[in-house]
């Protein structure tokens, strides 16, 4: 794309869409005009990609969320247009950074599950693999987080307020979705997923829910205005908000509607394409298509697929079930019971009774199979899809799917040996591991241009951006003082940038010469932000007692959203901010340590935090984190891990060496040994440091607004048994952090640890993960566009 074409396109879209010239245009208008100009340029390649994929076998990714982040910068980089566009805008006296910053993060995802889906989509396009993404086009994301007087508050995440120039509405390919009590339309919005250094452009199809008619004219004419639009509102609720609160039956019904809406529309779309290609012969539908279920949220796809074949295409139940068994794969993302969905039979019956009938038929087939294998009644009950008036979605997914995979070696081993051991014994051939990965384009090439340029300079080319394993070539520089010094200069530059951004976003000044100790992730008790906070509070007291304590000046940075209904998680936010205030208001300590809780943690904020880090905190209870991908993003940005042997931390340490990271805490096997006799009160009674920090939760040191939330945190650790073993790991955490501080004094040694993490990060590319899915589960081949 020539610079003149960019200039002409921007001016044309400003005129057509907003009726303004460049000199009068607002930043969001320029953003939209520029995005549309680029979109226009790629349409032909995008259409060619879709047509070519439709001719062969395709995989389809079903996910409740896609945490995409901003599109403009990433798309320009992948197209090789970033520098040209920057020059054009500069010539027009426009700062490209301001145009990028005006873009809202797409409100389509929440945490690691959604970010993984986004990385997978980008990787599949980059390596020319025919993968289509399917999801919901939520009008509003999870929520925007603010911190007011230390408390988390939430408001709507209206990410579409400036429009969405990167999606195209495809009204002609709408689908009709029927519930027992209403019928709605699913309108597809297609978003291009642009690969790096390729003409392939994959598609993320997101469904928006709309009513069959805008309003009831007769009711409106009879002046019953609210009633006249009630069906419209109920339909739009289905795609209104990501993960609506499901604390009561109404919320649960809405969640179920969302899940069915997603899978029914997506399967009808796949069937539509199948019919256009081969007609009404459904014997080979699983030869041409495969569906990967991203966790249990889309598991209703299994009975809905069978329903569509049986009820609408005349296929026998037996043949439809056999097709399903080679049509679906299931990714398990967690061993936490709360995430292995179970739905009350009555709720499913209320919304889609025919689907419930099919689930019952699948359950009967499972029982038949188990009886043939001589399982007794008590054992069969463990496997049942319907038990205790609940539909167990994980059991449904495992029984029917061709493959079941975990997302890190440790996680998969726990599934096979413990959590899903009964299923593993039944179907050992189904179980696989696919260690998660991250796209090096967004998480290094885009967010850390300084480090990227340095790597390219050392390796002599940019091939590493598509072949991350080439980072191993940096190892030969591991003792080169000039290289190590330059790496640390870049790290400092990114810290300065992060400090500036935090000043802009939070109004808080932090010292880029201090040690940046960062924990950023979804807020959950098992991720143990509370353990980190308790450690910091203990450190505060030790500095008070001994102002000469020999530690580097340290800034502890937290970023996390707590679900609105998750009381304890929100209490932890308040506790962290109270510790931050205590330190800030104490002149004896304020110059030595600082705590910052950044608000509204999201992809665009993460792109500043990962490169600006000195230490990556990954401290979940061993055996609880399936994988983690934040740990990989830190590693790729040359940051050592401080963590437990949990999730992908295990493989990170295997790659970069335990000597280059800081590992502490109970291992899975240690917890197994002590879990039945564990007494958290013993640690409280025998360890004065633990007693001192825990007592602050109940002795008035901190103010929880008379909510009782701090006392509840106290009780969770002492009266309820400390189920995530914070107190057992407290001293081990403390000792390892002392080791960090001591090691950091030797700047050359520290630089070597950072560098070792960088050059050993290659295996954690999502390109590698996707290639493994393609080869070992999906059976799809590279399909480059000419």
Burial 674-702 (b: 16+ CB within 10 A, else e): eeeebebeebbeebebbeebbebbeeeeb
Say which residue the tokens 């051991």 belong to: 421
Residues with Cβ within 8 Å of residue 662, at least 6 apart in sequence: 615, 640, 641, 642, 643, 736, 737, 739, 740, 743
Please report, for residues 123, 418, 729, 763, 783, the alpha-carbon distance to residue 48 in angstroms, rounded to integers and kept in the order given: 19, 47, 55, 31, 11
Cα angle for residues 493, 496, 499 (degrees, 5° grid): 150
Report how far Cα 567 is from the mean position of its chain's Cα atoms.
22
Identify the CA nearest to 186 among candidates 135, 117, 250: 135
- Which residues belong to the active site? 333, 521-522, 527, 629, 633
Residues 6+ apart with CB under 8 A from 174: 185, 186, 187, 188
**How many whole angstroms separate alpha carbon 486 and alpha carbon 725?**
40
Token pair for 83: 């520098």
Tracing tokens 């665009």 back to the chain, one arrives at 604
Question: Angle, nearest 10°, between helix axes 27-55 and 72-79?
Answer: 50
Alpha helices in 299-408 (DSSP H): 301-307, 313, 317-324, 345-351, 353-372, 377-383, 393-400
**408 vs 416: CA distance, rounded Å:** 12
Query: Are β-strands 515-520 and 615-618 bridged in parallel, bridged antiparallel, or unpaired?
Result: parallel
Alpha-carbon distance values, 556 to 48, 145, 264, 595, 659 (Å):
49, 20, 46, 5, 23
Specify whether the CB–CB gap between 217 and 235 falls below 8 A. Answer: no
377: phi then psi, degrees, rounded to nearest 5: -55, -45
Separation of alpha carbons 152 and 481, rounded Å: 45
């Amino acid at each position: 794309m020539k610079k003149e074409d960019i200039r002409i396109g921007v001016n044309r879209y400003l005129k057509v869409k907003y009726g303004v010239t460049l000199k009068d245009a607002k930043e969001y208008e320029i953003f939209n005009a520029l995005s549309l100009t680029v979109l226009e340029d790629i349409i032909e390649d995008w259409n060619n990609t879709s047509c070519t994929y439709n001719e062969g076998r395709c995989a389809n990714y079903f996910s409740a969320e896609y945490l995409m982040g901003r599109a403009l910068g990433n798309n320009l980089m992948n197209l090789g247009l970033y520098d040209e566009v920057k020059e054009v805008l500069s010539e027009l006296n426009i700062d490209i950074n301001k145009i990028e910053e005006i873009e809202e993060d797409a409100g389509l995802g929440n945490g690691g599950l959604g970010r993984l889906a986004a990385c997978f989509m980008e990787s599949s396009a980059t390596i020319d693999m025919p993968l289509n993404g399917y999801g919901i086009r939520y009008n509003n994301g999870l929520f925007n987080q603010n911190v007011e007087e230390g408390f988390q508050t939430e408001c709507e995440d209206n990410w579409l307020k400036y429009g969405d120039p990167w999606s195209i509405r495809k009204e002609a390919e709408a689908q009709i979705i029927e519930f027992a009590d209403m019928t709605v339309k699913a309108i597809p919005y297609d978003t291009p997923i642009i690969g790096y250094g390729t003409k392939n452009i994959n598609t993320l199809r997101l469904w928006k829910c709309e009513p069959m008619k805008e309003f009831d004219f007769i009711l409106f004419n009879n002046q019953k205005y609210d009633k006249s639009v009630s069906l419209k509102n109920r339909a739009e609720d289905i795609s209104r908000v990501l993960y609506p609160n499901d604390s009561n039956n109404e919320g649960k019904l809405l969640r179920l509607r969302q899940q069915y809406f997603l899978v029914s529309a997506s399967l009808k779309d796949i069937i539509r394409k199948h019919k256009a290609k081969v007609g009404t012969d459904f014997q080979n539908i699983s030869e041409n298509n495969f569906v990967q279920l991203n966790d249990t949220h889309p598991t209703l796809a299994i009975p809905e697929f069978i329903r569509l074949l049986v009820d609408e295409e005349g296929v026998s139940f037996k043949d439809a079930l056999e097709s399903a068994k080679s049509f679906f794969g299931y990714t398990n993302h967690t061993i936490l019971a709360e995430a292995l969905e179970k739905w009350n039979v009555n709720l499913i019956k209320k919304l889609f009774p025919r689907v419930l009938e099919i689930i019952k038929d699948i359950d009967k087939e499972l029982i038949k199979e188990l009886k043939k294998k001589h399982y007794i009644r008590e054992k069969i009950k463990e496997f049942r899809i319907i038990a205790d008036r609940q539909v167990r979605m994980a059991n449904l997914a495992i029984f029917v799917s061709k493959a079941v995979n975990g997302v890190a070696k440790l996680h998969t081993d726990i599934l096979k040996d413990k959590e899903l051991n009964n299923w593993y014994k039944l179907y050992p051939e189904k179980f696989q591991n696919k260690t998660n990965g991250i796209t090096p384009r967004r998480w290094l090439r885009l967010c850390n241009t300084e480090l990227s340029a340095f790597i390219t300079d050392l390796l002599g080319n940019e091939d590493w951006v598509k072949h991350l394993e080439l980072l191993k070539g940096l190892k030969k520089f591991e003792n080169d003082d000039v290289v190590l010094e330059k790496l640390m200069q870049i790290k400092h530059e990114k810290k300065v940038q992060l400090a500036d951004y935090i000043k802009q976003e939070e109004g808080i000044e932090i010292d880029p010469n201090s040690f940046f100790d960062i924990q950023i992730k979804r807020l959950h008790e098992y991720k143990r932000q509370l353990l980190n906070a308790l450690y910091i509070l203990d450190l505060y007291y030790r500095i008070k007692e001994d102002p000469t304590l020999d530690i580097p000046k340290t800034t502890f940075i937290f970023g996390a959203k707590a679900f609105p209904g998750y009381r304890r998680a929100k209490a932890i936010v308040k506790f962290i901010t109270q510790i931050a205030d205590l330190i800030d208001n104490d002149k004896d300590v304020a110059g030595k340590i600082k705590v910052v809780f950044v608000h509204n943690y999201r992809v665009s904020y993460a792109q500043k935090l990962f490169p600006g880090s000195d230490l990556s905190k990954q401290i979940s209870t061993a055996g609880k984190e399936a994988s983690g991908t934040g740990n990989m993003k830190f590693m790729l940005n040359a940051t050592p891990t401080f963590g437990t042997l949990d999730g992908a931390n295990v493989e990170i340490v295997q790659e970069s060496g335990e000597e280059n990271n800081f590992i502490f805490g109970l291992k899975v096997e240690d917890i197994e040994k002590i879990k039945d006799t564990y007494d958290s009160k013993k640690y409280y009674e025998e360890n004065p440091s633990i007693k001192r920090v825990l007592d602050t939760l109940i002795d008035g040191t901190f103010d929880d607004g008379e909510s009782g939330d701090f006392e509840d945190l106290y009780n969770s650790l002492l009266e309820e048994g400390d189920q995530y073993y914070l107190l057992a790991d407290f001293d081990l955490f403390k000792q390892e952090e002392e080791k960090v501080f001591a090691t950091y004094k030797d700047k050359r040694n520290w630089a070597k640890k950072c560098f070792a993490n960088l050059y050993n990060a290659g295996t954690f590319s999502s390109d590698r993960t996707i290639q493994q899915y393609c080869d070992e589960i999906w059976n799809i081949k590279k399909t480059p566009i000419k």
